[in-house]
Each structure stands twice: as structure tokens, then as C-alpha cells.
Amino acid sequence: MSTMERAKERANGPLSRRGFVGVLSTIGAGMLGLVACGGNTTPTVAAGSGMSGVAGMPVAGGMPVAGGMPAASGMPGMAGSAAAATPVAGAALSADEMDKLHEAGIKAFPAKTAGLGGQPLAPRMEGDFKVFDLVAKKVQWEVEPGKLFEAWGYNGVIPGPELRVTEGDKVRVVIKNELAESTAIHFHGQMAPNAMDGVPFITQPPIKPGTNFTYEFVAKPAGTHMYHSHHNATKQVGMGLLGAFIVEPKDPKSRPPFDKEWTIVLNDGPQGFTLNGKGFPATQPFVVKKGEKLLIRYINEGQLLHPMHLHGMPQLVIAKDGYLQPQPWLCDTLTVAPGDRWEVIVDATEVGTWAFHCHVLSHAETEHGMFGMVTALVVKE
């Protein structure tokens, strides 16, 4: 499969809402009763309620409190919009009340929100350089339906656009800083010249508000990498100044073959627990056909461990931080630590809608339903 074909697969990979409903009706059953969701899907008290707690996450200088958990009554989601729909905030829910909240969240999935990050940015050519233009700026970002956060993003999206090149390419990235504070970009995982390493006062001056900076390097090594702010980074990366930097191998045969690929950027900053900048039910599921091999690229831009668990099929781990493992190994839960990139291949042998979530359960579910780091892999017949 060519690079362009793969790019198309990626573009088509995440399901539209209509597509998801269609898939579910095709397969006749869904995740936890996730069927016939074309009807009343208004997520008035959806699992998103869980995010209310995150939205209300106590922040100090933009930071979540220790563990990313709201401080107050322990469970996220105990305050906020869900509380209005709950008889008494904090009071025990009846079994029916609880089930109703859980069901509403599932039925809302995949919920529509404005903005989609992580889409490929086509480079322009300047001589033999592949040039990418980025603007760091503030944006209102809809993490879940109706839940808008101030975010700082590249080109107005969270994650920033996916930058994709081939090993050995000459890369130029021009960054314009439209933020109110200085910034800098580090191409994490790339063996760039020292002056291009992106660390203010170590390798360059900070990029002041209203100014530009140009990074140039030759892309290496291959694999799943990332770019992100390296200035006031706890705040800036938490706010969304991050993106995938994918380096395809010069020789495609040097890495295991696959049919489709799915990049999942994890974050746990002031916008809550997110997969590709969205919290469940606004996360995107991914669809493959039975028999296809799916490459999943995990990138953890957050500050917490996120053990990612796929139901139904094992994950074959092939690479860490871009580097091929000496021997691929199987697991069903892969802990993705801050800074980690892992590449796994899922052999889609089992038809169905499979839950796929972080297994730190407080990043994925409350008594009001699923939220945050939850999505699904749909395997069609």
C-alpha cells in the first residue's frame, strides 16, 4: 500500500457518526447494548457527565491535581451537569438511575463535536525540503459535546496536525508563535542537530510572542515520534501544544506489514482524560474488516500512566519509541508511560464492537458512566 493510499485509509478510518450506526446495524449487536443509536441520542446526562468532574478539575496554574483526580468527593463526575440530572448530587443512585446514565453515554457514542485534530498536514516543497507551517495559538476546543475548554494548539487543533515524512527526508518546520508567552518545539525522538533540539536557553532562545522560528533536520530514525512544546511544557503540552511526527521507513519491508493504521495520542491535562483531544463519548472509534492487520501507534503526551486495554484480541508489540523490538511480544494491556510511543499490530480476527480503554478505571468510568479514555475497535465481517 502506498503512502497516499495509507493516508486515505487514515482519513477514512475514524467513523462518522452515521458510519458507526451503520456498522452497528450491520453487525447486529454492539458494545454493551450499543444498538439503534440513530434515534434519541441527545446526551443530556451522558457519560460525559463523568467529564464534568474533570472539567471541574481543580487546577493550579493549569495543572490537574495529583493523580489527575478531582480532589473533592473522590469520584470525578460527582459534580457538574450530571448532578443536575441526579436526584441529589453525591447521593446513592438507584440501580435504574445508574444504568440509565451509563446507557445514555454509550448511546451517544460517537458523539459529534467541533474540531478534529491529528489530521495529516501536506508539506509544501521548497527545493528538496518538505516544509510544514505551524501556528501556535489559543483555541476554544470542544472536548465533549457542549464542553468547551480554552486550549493552546498548533493550527487550531488538538492534537496538532500529523506531520508525516520518510526516513532521510529533509524537513523544515516553520513555527509562528501567536500565544501570549514564549514557546519552542522539540521533535521528540528525532536525531536532529543540537541547535534544532528545541530547548530554550540550552539550544536556542525562546520563540517570543509574535515571532517565528524555523527548525531544519533530516528525518531519522523511522517510527512513531512526536512534536511538542519544550517551554513551560507542563502547561503548554497540557493545554494541547503537541502532535504526532511519523517517520516512515525508507524500506517499507524493514517493518512488519499492516493494512490500516490508527494513531492515538493520550493526554491528561486541564482538558481531562483524552484520546486524540476528545473525551468519551466524543472519541472516535475505528473500523477494520475481519482479517485486516491494524497498526496502532500510541503516543502519551500526558503525565500519567495509561494502560491501554483492547477487548477481544491481543496486541502484538512491535516497536517502542520508533525502535523495533528484538522480538515482538503479545499482551492485552499495554502501559503507555509519559513520553512513550508504542507500536502494536492487532490482527482483526474477531468480529464485533470491542471496548478499548485505559485500564486506570478512574480515567474511563464513573458511577455516571464511561468518560475520558474510552473508544472502540469495530471489526466488520
* Contact footprint for Cu ion (CB under 5 A): 306, 358, 360, 363, 373
Q: How far is the CB of 377 from Cu ion (least distance, A)?
A: 17
Smaller CB separation from Cu ion, 319 or 360: 360
Q: How far is the CB of 361 from Cu ion (least distance, A)?
A: 9
Q: How far apart are CA 375 and CA 341, in angstroms?
A: 19
Q: How far is the CB of 240 from Cu ion (least distance, A)?
A: 18
Q: How far is the CB of 358 from Cu ion (least distance, A)?
A: 3
Q: How far apart are CA 341 and CA 33, in angstroms?
A: 33
Q: How many CB atoms lie within 10 A of CB 141?
A: 25
The dihedral built from the CA positions of residue 221, 321, 118 and 61, taken in this order, carries a sign that is negative
Smaller CB separation from Cu ion, 165 or 358: 358
Q: How far is the CB of 275 from Cu ion (least distance, A)?
A: 10
3 state SS of 35 = coil
Q: How far is the CB of 67 from Cu ion (least distance, A)?
A: 11
Q: How far is the CB of 374 from Cu ion (least distance, A)?
A: 10
Smaller CB separation from Cu ion, 69 or 295: 69
Q: Which contiguous run of DSSP H or E holds residue 139?
A: strand 129-144
Q: How far is the CB of 39 from Cu ion (least distance, A)?
A: 31
Smaller CB separation from Cu ion, 265 or 379: 265
**225, 188 in Cβ contact below 8 A?**
yes
Q: How far is the CB of 56 from Cu ion (least distance, A)?
A: 19
Question: Which has the closest alpha carbon to 212: 172, 186, 176, 173?
Answer: 176
Strand duo 260-267 + 170-177: pairing? unpaired
Smaller CB separation from Cu ion, 120 or 339: 339
How many C-alpha atoms does 287 have within 13 Å on its Cβ side?
Answer: 21
Smaller CB separation from Cu ion, 77 or 198: 77
CA distances from 188 to 103, 119, 239, 333, 348 (A): 40, 19, 18, 24, 30
Cell numbers found for residue 257: 506489514
Smaller CB separation from Cu ion, 296 or 373: 373
The dihedral built from the CA positions of residue 279, 282, 284 and 290, taken in this order, carries a sign that is positive
Smaller CB separation from Cu ion, 141 or 280: 280
Q: How far apart are CA 319 and CA 334, in angstroms?
A: 12
**272, 57 in Cβ contact below 8 A?**
yes
Smaller CB separation from Cu ion, 242 or 358: 358
Cell numbers found for residue 14: 475514524
Q: How far apart are CA 186 and CA 349, in angstroms?
A: 38
Q: How far apart are CA 371 and CA 76, in angstroms?
A: 10
Q: How many CB atoms lie within 10 A of CB 326?
A: 6
